[in-house]
Amino acid sequence: MCTREARRWWGDAALGVAVTTLVVLAMAHEGGVGPLDYGLMVVGTLTLAAHRVAPRVVLAVTTVCLTGLVLHAEPSTTAAFPVLGAVHGAAHKGHRLLAGAASAVFLVGFFAAAPGADDIVERTLLLTGWFVCAVATGVAGKTWQAYLRQSEERALEAERTREEAALRRAGEERLRIARELHDSLTHSISIVKLQAGVAIHLARKRGEEIPPALLAIQEASGEAMRELRATLDVLRTDEPTGSPALLVERARAAGLAVELTVTGRERPLSPALDRAAYRIVQEALTNAARHAGGPALVSVRLGYGERELVLRIEDDGVAAPGRPTVEGTGLTGMRERVGALGGRLWAGPRDGGGFAVRVELPIEGGAAGVDGGGAADDGGAVGDGDAADDGGGRAVVAGRAGPGARERERA
């Protein structure tokens, strides 16, 4: 259990104990409470500690226990406070109808406990207003959180759009410079090399001694041409390269909780493999920022094997196990990159909740283990054309995807 989850769990437990203590003391002060009543109070209020993980169960247990309390003992306004908390929590999680039904059940029980009391109508009306406020604030809180998530997603999308525009402008400028260099320097150096070669050929043909300066000019011009071609190749490559660790730092700076783990002997990779790994990690982190939810934790694992590079990007976000995955442009791009390198890809919801992407890329030539139908270890991939289902995900080998689905899109 991570530190944040542990703090949240202890806070909820402390809330349940505090509410239980206050309700028990208040009811004891009012008097007329027996052992059964204390039992109903303790069970109904301690259950509030689980309001985050099981709001519907908490709502049902708290409502039944506290309604039973007001029916068995005298109707007390104190008994309504735990139910108000459960109703608010359920409405905040999106269970508005259940929250309204629980409110109605408690109010009917409260009124039925002492229909002949002088102030029972006034007290019931007062509680009705409180329950309406509890449901309204719960719904408003959920709406506000959804608005904040959408605002964060829009901000991330705007930032990504700006970065893509900047990269596009930089790429266009590199291409312009490459064209200028090719049209000017390449032509001039080629002429120098050609003239030096002709002079050396004529000197040899006439049996004359070749001047050392002429040989130096030919060698230097050839070396300059090779270096210029390499420079032009770099300028014409619009794919950025970099370390996945740099992507992790950028994601952390943007507010995403990311852990990076590197195993094996880290070593330089080929340019194509380096670019593919960079882009895959970048796209997976972007998807996690968009879809996992605000408090999600993302783990990035890079495994350097003898013959393959293994990438695992997982989050503990809102994706449900067994829920099908619709392939958006991001996953399509990953699949194409992995297929071009003869690798394997698996992407889908995790068994414990959240989303996972696993990629295996061969470091040395050839497709990594494509055997026409055999499964790879860890449920990560299968043979060409086959798909492995592991909690709603899918395996992709050499650029071919498993069966599609229709529900959630990760762009």
Say if CB 270 and CB 238 are below 8 A apart: no
Specify the pairing of strand 394-397 against strand 344-349.
antiparallel
Would you state the structure tokens that stand for residue 311, as one six-digit string? 């990438």
The full set of domains in the chain, from first to last, is: 1-115 (no CATH), 244-362 (3.30.565.10)
CB under 8 Å to 97, separation ≥6 — which residues? none
Q: For residue 184, give the DSSP letter.
A: I
Distance, CA of 43 to CA of 64 (rounded, Å): 10
Query: 0.85 exceeded by the pTM?
Result: no
Q: Max Cα separation, the chain?
A: 131
Taking alpha carbons only, the member of 300, 312, 299 closest to residue 360 is: 312
Three-state SS for 400? strand
Tens-binned pLDDT, residue by residue, of the chain (411 aa): 456 677 777 877 887 788 878 877 777 777 767 778 778 878 888 888 887 888 889 889 988 888 888 887 777 777 888 888 889 888 988 888 998 898 898 888 888 877 766 777 888 888 889 999 989 999 998 899 888 888 888 888 888 788 778 877 877 787 788 777 777 787 788 888 888 888 888 888 888 888 888 888 888 888 888 887 777 776 666 555 557 777 888 778 777 788 899 998 888 888 788 888 888 888 888 888 777 666 678 899 999 998 899 999 998 876 655 555 555 667 887 888 898 889 999 988 887 778 899 999 998 643 333 333 333 333 333 333 333 333 333 333 333 333 333 333 344
Residue in 330, 392, 368 with CA at minimum distance from that of residue 157: 330
